[in-house]
Structure 1
């Protein structure tokens, strides 16, 4: 599965997903100040799932694009690797 980790989500979570064999892109590696609308365009173009703590995406998605999967995560530190299944999604 391909994921996009938003600037406000844990990089550690992205690293855990990478260790499980997933393709993960980080918004902070491209442009930490990119707009939410540009992030949505990125996700659609690359068919990624957004991982974020930003609930503003919900409104944008309903207004613009309805076929995007977003995972909202609470900020918890550190990310515990034992919480993830050892099999791929």
Structure 2
């Protein structure tokens, strides 16, 4: 999936690149809404066609330095996981 980023804010890096900030959503170029169904214009979201949605994990830094929150519904829609945030349930002592 080639999801890009739509965010509530932006910031400028040292090299002059405009990067997402605030709350980020996954967005498919050519669509007027995010993958979770939020309309871009009504929500006041800015599009970042040059930033892949996989690059905005706040734990990784880089393009995500100013990202506060990633939409969980967009994460689910892209099939990404929240690594380390919610450990999967696992039975430790199964019954025989």
TM (norm. structure 1) is 0.35
Q: Which has the higher strand share?
A: 2
Quick one: higher RCO (CA 8 Å, sep 6+), 1 or 2?
A: 1
Q: Which has the higher helix share?
A: 1
The structure having more radius of gyration, on CA atoms, is 2
